[in-house]
Amino acid sequence: MTDVLLGADLGTSGLKLVALDATGAVVAEAEHAYGYDRPAPGRAESDVATWRSALDSTLAEVASRLGGRRAAALGFSGQMHGAVLVDDDGAPLRPAVLWPDQRAAAELDRWRALPPGARAGLANPLVPGMTGPVLAWLGDHEPEVLDRAAALLLPKDALRASVLPGAAPVTDRSDASATLLWDVVADCWSAPAVGAAGIDAGLLPRVVPSAEVVGAAELAVGQVPVVVGGADTPLAMLAAGAAGAQVNLGTGAQLLRSRREPTAAPDPVVHTYADTADGWYAMAALQNGGSAWEWVCGILGLSLTEFVAAAASVPAGAGGVVFRPFLTGERGGVAGPDDRGAWTGLHAGTTRADLARAAAEGVVFAIRAAFDLLDVTDHAAVLLTGGAARSGILTQLLADALGRPVRPLGLRSASAVGAALLAGRGVGLDVDPAREEGPLVEPYGETHLEQAYARWAAC
């Protein structure tokens, strides 16, 4: 195979594009950063045109590095839960509402009022940023938009549709199962949940296999077959080859355990979602991961490199300072939607380095609390993907907090690599990615860190 496989990961704060060769090695990659809009407190939106611009930019950059090699297929990975309403021509009717959005907190009462069997079939915690509650809010506050809508798209589906004009609206199980509109046990759309959202079931996209080819797009890399794609979390798992527990730490944090069979659960503390094949996984998710560190860097006037160095310069426990990272609330389990961030335990001797150390610990402590929800019984190494995998101090801190070995996986964008693998499957090219596993990081058994966690948990 001299062709390459392309994978695009549509993240919350940027788009990453990778090209894999026959050996599974990344031969070209590009990244385009962007922000998202906060038109009011607790809201998170993005213009779909921003995503398309980022895709075009990265495609042009990668095309210039391929040396004439053809792109055999393109796959998409995307942030989960969002809502994009489009008209008959496929044009977005308003900015996309994203997963950190909190506007639909009150609408969750509709899901709580579902008949017990229907609620249990959803088998997921109720989160305001998920697609169903967002649609319910739009129906109450922007009914004219819903009246004009011809289809609902998830974020990666909206981006894919932009390169395949006229294509029928479709999604895959991995995204559909994360909408609070999907009956996880029956593995299909839930009529009661769709009723709670107050939408016409005709707005829902058809659900097809993640690796299905749905058209060919004319792009900077030439004409290329395009597969449906999948949600970013299961595609990160696909790229990592994770058979046990995995932590993906980016803007948020996802703690994953594969091969969980779905069961009815009326009030679960962890999510149960479909993967991009025919299986399932359990996930404990945090909205506030790397995003909390980015906020701290801005407040303290530090670059991320300076932040990590400052945190490393202070002993465990940060001089008694505790940081709660829940700046945008949480999904439940570890913290709730109304929880907020804070530094506590401040005193006259507190330094900027103490604040940085407390912030580093605070996010990791939240990950530990979320990890405990997964009920992982073995003590095998935890696979680490995402930006934190490139930081020695953060990896060590995570191993110490979890009390388990942690092995970083050196994939710059595991979700984009997973999307490329999915693209290959769609055109009959089965590629095994080159996984650069980092050294196994053993926990030190740091007593002061355990004491710091106890203070954090008591706040």
User: What pLDDT was estimated at residue 250?
Assistant: 81
| pLDDT tens per residue, range 207-232 | 999 999 999 999 999 999 999 999 99
Q: If we measure between CA atoms, which residue out of 284, 253, 260, 241 comes closest to residue 184?
A: 260
For residue 42, being part of any structural domain is answered with yes
| Phi, then psi, of 95 in degrees rounded to 5 | -60, 150
Specify whether the CB–CB gap between 178 and 190 falls below 8 A: no
For residue 92, give the amino acid letter.
Answer: P
Question: Which residue reads 């994978």 in tokens?
Answer: 7
Phi/psi for 18 (5° steps) reads -125, 155
Residue 439 belongs to a domain? no
Is a pLDDT exceeding 80 seen at residue 358?
yes
Supply the pTM of this predicted model.
0.85
Pair of tokens at residue 319: 């001089």
- Average pLDDT (239-250) is 82
Q: What's the pLDDT tens digit per position in 377-411?
A: 777 889 888 766 566 788 999 999 999 999 888 77
Per the structure, the complete domain to which residue 95 belongs is given by: 4-231
| 200 part of a folded domain | yes
| Residue 190 counted as domain residue | yes
Within-domain flag for 86: yes
pLDDT mean over 22-42: 92
Classified as helix, coil or strand, 430 is coil
- pLDDT score, position 1: 55
Digit-coded pLDDT (tens) for 252-274:
888 888 767 788 988 898 899 99
Rounded average pLDDT over 81-105: 95
What is the rounded average pLDDT of the residues 276-285? 90
Angular region, 336: left φ>0, alpha ψ -120 to 50, beta rest: beta
Q: Helix, strand, coil: what percent of the chain each, to 5? A: 35, 25, 40
How many whole angstroms separate alpha carbon 201 and alpha carbon 204? 6
DSSP annotation of 184 = T
Helices (H), 142-243: 143-148, 155-163, 173-176, 191-197, 232-240
What is the reported pLDDT for 276?
94
What is the Cα–Cα distance from 37 to 388, expressed in whole angstroms? 25
**Half-sphere exposure of residue 191, counting CA atoms within 13 Å on the CB side?**
0
Q: And the tokens for 182?
A: 């999907």
Report CA torsion sign: 134, 136, 142, 146.
positive
Q: Give the residue ranges of DSSP H helices in 330-391.
A: 352-373
**Cα-based angle 295, 301, 302 (whole degrees, multiple of 5):** 85
Q: Within a domain: residue 398? A: no
CA distance 153 to 116: 28
CA 284 to chain centre: 11
Asked whether 293 and 250 are in contact (CB, 8 A), the reply is no
Residue 182 lies in a domain: yes
Is residue 164 within 8 A of residue 223, CB to CB? The reply is no
Domain count, the chain: 1
How many CB atoms within 10 Å of residue 100? 25
**pLDDT tens by residue, 320-356:** 999 999 998 887 788 888 899 999 999 999 999 999 9
Give the CATH number of the domain where residue 58 resides: 3.30.420.40
8 A C-beta contact, residue 414 and residue 439? no
Q: Determine, yes or no, domain membership for 27.
A: yes
pLDDT at 6 over 80: yes
- Which residue spans within 107-212 are E strands per DSSP? 151-153, 170-171, 182-183, 188-189, 206-207
Q: What percent of the chain has pLDDT over 90?
A: 75
What residues contact 14, with CB distance under 8 A and at least 6 apart? Answer: 31, 32, 33, 34, 54
Contact 128/104 with Cβ under 8 angstroms?
yes
Residue 367 has pLDDT above 90, yes or no: yes
How far, in Å, CA of 95 to CA of 84, rounded? 7
Whole-angstrom distance, CA of residue 47 vs CA of residue 56:
15
CA 369-375-381 angle, 5° bins: 85
What pLDDT is recorded for position 388? 63
CB 99 within 8 A of CB 81: yes
